[in-house]
Chains A and B, each alone.
Chain A
Amino acid sequence: MHIFEGFLPSPWWQIWFAVSIPVIMYGIYQMNKLVSQRREIVPLLAVAGAFIFVMSSLKLPSVTGSSSHPTGTGMAAILFGPAVTSVLSVIVLLYQSLFLAHGGLTTLGANVFSMGIAGPFVAYAFYKMASKAGMNFYLNVFLATAIANWVTYVVTSLQLALAFPFEGSVFASFKMFALVFATTQVPLAIMEGALTALIMKYVVQIKGDVLVGLNVLTSSAATKLREAME
């Protein structure tokens, strides 16, 4: 998710801003509405944002011999949907680009798109479909967040490939970037999925009723999960 500052030439950095900004605006609108209508979600919003902070500060080593970040966005996506998640991602990405020289302002649009929009959107869609199909809640959270993490880096590879085709071929370039990113990311994605499933368990425990209100769980599913904990 961290395309370095200045590493996306025109017109690509503008294109990704153009794609991301409407989603962020809609996310801000949705977040305001949610916070004013349901004050009880505020602590959950804080936890989801904080989880992104923690996860994206970790640089985990992978079997490929390089390190990369978990994204932490899967949880927010499941709870609040991809638009709100994009707003939370902007905060983290701004911090990292302004104080840590990780990512950058010109690449913010592209980085928000991969980490805050594309990954979360896939997580959200996966979670909703699998939960309709009756998949176990924790397995669902695990898979949805692991996939979100992985998709984030596949999208980053695609963004770089579009901007830097190899010998004129976007696909050849995509394969090269994806080999670095997507393979490094597999163990991290599994780790992130497992941690997210665990923290969601505690969220169900303390705020199961709010999850029902957010349409994350049906009330019978929430009751069942809480009974299983006792």
Chain B
Amino acid sequence: MKLEYLVAIVVILFAAQFFYGVANNPDSEFGGADGEAADMIAEMNPDYEPWFGGIGFEPPGGETESLLFALQAAFGAVVIGYTIGYYKGKGEKN
């Protein structure tokens, strides 16, 4: 169980750094760092236009986007939980 406790401490520290970040950046919405980089490119090279785009599906808004992200996470979590649970149960039977 020792490792679980250590990981729990890391999770708590992670939450703490988030609250510290909120306190230090009261106006921030915690947008993606990748978007920030895109803004920097636009600032450094005002003439640059993304030369390609619009092939894939673009979520119409934040709600659909969060749905698709949640599906991605749920799919992964099911696979992990199923596999680990299956072999754990199998191991206990023997």
Contacts and interface: CB of A to CB of B under 8 A. Distances in A.
Best-surrounded residue of A47, A59, A65, A105 (most CB of chain B within 10 A): A65
Interface in B8-56: 10-11, 13-14, 17-18, 20-22, 24-25, 28, 30-34, 36-38, 40-41, 44-45, 48-53, 55-56
Contact of A47 (B34, B44, B84): B84
B51 to A, nearest CB: 5
Contacts of A98: 55-57
B87 A206 contact: yes
* Interface residues on chain B, size class: 35 or more
B30 A66 contact: yes
A177 interface: yes
B93 interface: no
B87 A97 contact: no
B57 A4 contact: no
Given A6-B52, A68-B34, A190 B18 contact: no
B90 to A, nearest CB: 8
Nearest to B85: A206
Contact of A4 (B11, B24, B34, B68): B34
A205 B72 contact: no
* Interface residues on chain A, size class: 35 or more
Interface in A41-57: 43, 46-47, 49-57
Interface string A151-162: 001001000100
A126 interface: no
Contact of A176 (B21, B40, B50, B69): B40
B73 A57 contact: yes
A160 B37 contact: yes
A191 B14 contact: yes
Contacts of B88: 202, 205-206
Contacts of A138: 3
A51 B76 contact: yes
Contacts of B7: 194-195, 197-198
Contacts of B56: 5, 97-101, 104-105
A135 interface: no
A100 B69 contact: yes
A212 interface: no
9 contacts: A4-B50, A7-B41, A46-B79, A54-B72, A56-B72, A62-B33, A99-B56, A101-B56, A181-B37
Given A177-B40, A187-B14, A191-B11, 5 more contacts: A6-B51, A54-B73, A92-B72, A106-B51, A153-B33
